[in-house]
């Protein structure tokens, strides 16, 4: 466990996760700790095992060994649906938005509201007005501006589409939201909007895991940085006491965490 952090402070934790595919080691006894109400960035080179870690935390794969804990209790997610039901939502880099549907329909995709009484129970009619009202209120609370909640997602910009995906995760994720490269392929202005949205999601009490290769973004909003290399966590650092060059050096193996701590101490 990270020094100074009690188990009760952790919303999501993993210890000793391993996963092998034949001779390929995807996870090599990796640990993971996410505190309540924090933004934790997970960084590492391509092939470092970040995706395998996130998949193990969300039920997309089953680790060969190791444990995952949610609110201090061991959990065994058999599928991403199990993780979602437990309050963990994931927004993947390949946005899972239905572009032909409008914003409200996307926010309630797979969780549509039915009208009350016979119309909903027997005839299974959807409460479209109720979904639009709740979607509009949710988007407003997150500060996301759109022309109309009935606007089709295919008419939105890349940043707005990403905002809809994040908003949906925030609407249903009760404990943790995991974001995989949320600013990839976005312009400067749209990136700023998404980063501001992530901060608002955190301020609403959710814990956020941010997987990103964009170091300036990571250092702008992350509370801590989990550095992944060769299938395991090699360091946890804080942006306020660590340089980007040090983090990149740890990712590539050019700098060991112990050497980094000495370098940081020498600069302070």
Mean confidence (pLDDT) of the chain: 89
pLDDT 10s digits, 177-216:
999 998 887 888 889 989 999 999 999 999 999 999 999 9
Of 116 and 19, the one with more pLDDT: 19
Query: Given a cut of 90, is residue 145 above it in pLDDT?
Result: no
pLDDT 10s digits, 31-82:
999 999 999 999 999 999 999 999 999 999 999 999 999 999 999 999 999 9
pLDDT at 110: 84
pLDDT 10s digits, 151-172:
999 999 888 888 999 999 999 9
CB-CB contact of 114 with 121 (8 Å):
yes
Query: Given a cut of 60, is residue 20 above it in pLDDT?
Result: yes
**b/e burial code for range 59-77 (CB count within 10 A of at least 16 → b):** bbbebeebebbbeeeebeb
Residues 6+ apart with CB under 8 A from 12: 32, 33, 34, 57, 68, 69, 70, 88, 175, 176, 207, 209
pLDDT at 1: 47
User: Considering the entire predicted model, what is its pTM?
Assistant: 0.87
Residues 6+ apart with CB under 8 A from 192: none
Q: How confident is the model at residue 143 (pLDDT cuts 50, 70, 90)?
A: confident
Calpha distance 177→90 (Å, rounded): 6
Other Cβ atoms closer than 10 A to 216: 11
pLDDT at 116: 81
| Overall average pLDDT of the 18-35 stretch | 96
* CA dist 159 → 90, 95, 186 (Å): 17, 11, 6
* CA dist 113 → 85, 98, 191 (Å): 17, 17, 32
Of 261 and 110, the one with more pLDDT: 110
Ordered by where they begin, the domains of the chain are 7-95+174-267 (3.40.50.300)
pLDDT 10s digits, 79-98:
999 999 999 999 987 667 88
**b/e burial code for range 85-122 (CB count within 10 A of at least 16 → b):** ebbbbbbbeebebeeeebbbbbbbeeeeeebeeeeeee
pLDDT at 261: 60
Query: Given a cut of 80, is residue 107 above it in pLDDT?
Result: yes
pLDDT at 4: 47
Query: Residue 78's Cα: distance from chain center in Å?
Result: 19
> pLDDT above 90 covers what percent of the chain?
67
CB-CB contact of 165 with 96 (8 Å):
yes
């Amino acid at each position: 466990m990270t020094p100074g952090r009690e188990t009760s402070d952790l919303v999501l934790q993993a210890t000793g996760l391993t996963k092998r595919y034949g001779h390929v080691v995807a996870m090599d006894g990796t640990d993971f700790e996410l505190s309540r109400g924090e933004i934790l960035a997970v960084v590492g080179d391509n092939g470092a095992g970040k995706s395998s870690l996130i998949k193990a935390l969300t039920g997309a794969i089953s680790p060969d060994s190791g444990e995952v804990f949610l609110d201090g209790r061991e959990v065994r997610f058999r599928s991403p649906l199990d993780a979602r039901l437990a309050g963990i939502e994931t927004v993947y880099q390949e946005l899972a938005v239905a572009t032909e549907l409008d914003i409200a329909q996307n926010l309630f995709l797979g969780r549509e509201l039915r009208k009350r009484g016979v119309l909903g129970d027997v005839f299974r009619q959807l409460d479209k007005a109720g979904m639009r009202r709740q979607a509009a209120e949710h988007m407003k609370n997150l500060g996301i501006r759109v022309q109309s909640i009935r606007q089709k997602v295919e008419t939105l910009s890349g940043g707005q589409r990403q905002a809809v995906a994040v908003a949906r995760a925030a609407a249903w994720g009760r404990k943790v939201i995991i974001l995989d490269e949320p600013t990839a392929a976005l312009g400067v202005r749209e990136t700023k909007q998404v980063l501001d949205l992530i901060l608002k999601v955190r301020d609403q009490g959710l814990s956020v895991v941010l997987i990103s290769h964009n170091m300036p973004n990571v250092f702008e909003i992350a509370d801590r940085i989990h550095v992944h290399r060769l299938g395991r966590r090699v360091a946890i650092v804080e942006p306020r006491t660590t340089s980007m060059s040090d983090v990149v050096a740890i990712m590539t193996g050019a700098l060991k965490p112990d050497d980094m701590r000495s370098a940081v101490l020498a600069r302070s």
